[in-house]
Amino acid sequence: MMFITRHAAMNEPMLSVEEEREAVRNWQDKGDRDALELLIRSHARQVYAQASRWSDNPSHREDMVAEGMIGLMRAADNFDLSQDVRFSTYAGWWVLNGVSSAMVKIKTVVDIPVRTFLDASGGRLDGERKEIAQVAMNSTVEIGVAGETLLSMACPSLTPEEEATLSSSKDEQRRMLRAALDQLKPEDANIIKKLKLNDPPMRPEELAQEMGITRDRVRQLEGRALLRLRKRLIDGGFGLHALT
């Protein structure tokens, strides 16, 4: 993975719409690494801007930047040129996904999903989920200087662009889920949809009766299907923390 300093990132010229789409096309169609490097260099300021919002510690910020750069690469891999949207807008979700994932890994000893961490920080959890999150968050690695933690240094509100990025993240996750399901065998996809995605979902015993098999066999098939789905999601760039 290439490295670019913050100073260099902030001084890198922005690409026009035509230039960035041509770079994406050359990377996706020809594997042109120069095109990929051009995309990363011209959008690296997004990564540094996000990382700077969450930590003032150079070491921790470096980890966040590294994950954010990987997010840029995944955005370059998955960007749909048929859509009328700027690459920087699309890449914003991937950058936020990478930086926030790194932030939680730094902040907690026990792995928990980013959404759980943010909900726990905002006091929006209760019951067992709250207890689990508290265990993870009480075993924290302090971030920052002079006693300041990551949360105390984080900007209290999101910019309009970040608000838009967050609001679109669920749509992006749903798109990736649909794409992963389409890659599964029909029987695997059918089991997942009926037991996990239907509203309301079927009970295992109901599906067992429908399929003419035992409930235990349904559970076996469900576990196998979910493992295959997880692999497709990871291959498609879905954050591991979102699968926890």
Bridge partner list, 140: 108
Q: Are 145 and 56 in contact (CB under 8 A)?
A: yes
Q: Is residue 231 part of a domain?
A: yes
Q: Is residue 190 part of a domain?
A: yes
Question: Do 176 and 65 belong together in one domain?
Answer: no
Q: Is residue 2 part of a domain?
A: no
pLDDT digits over 93-118, tens only?
888 888 887 777 766 544 545 555 55
Question: Do 22 and 139 belong together in one domain?
Answer: yes
136: pLDDT strictly greater than 70: no
Q: How confident is the model at residue 60 (pLDDT cuts 50, 70, 90)?
A: confident
Q: Mean of the pLDDT values across residues 2-19? A: 84
Tokens of 203: 């009970």
Q: Which of 133, 112, 134 is nearest to 240 (CA)?
A: 112
Question: Do 197 and 88 belong together in one domain?
Answer: no
What contacts 240, CB < 8 A, 6 or more positions away?
101, 234
* Alpha helix stretches (DSSP H) within the chain: 6-11, 17-30, 33-54, 58-78, 87-107, 114-121, 127-138, 150-153, 160-182, 186-192, 204-211, 215-235
The model carries a pTM of 0.48
pLDDT recorded at residue 117: 54
Question: Do 130 and 232 belong together in one domain?
Answer: no
Number of structural domains in the chain: 2
Domain that holds residue 190: 160-244
Q: Mean of the pLDDT values across residues 42-58? A: 83
pLDDT recorded at residue 4: 79
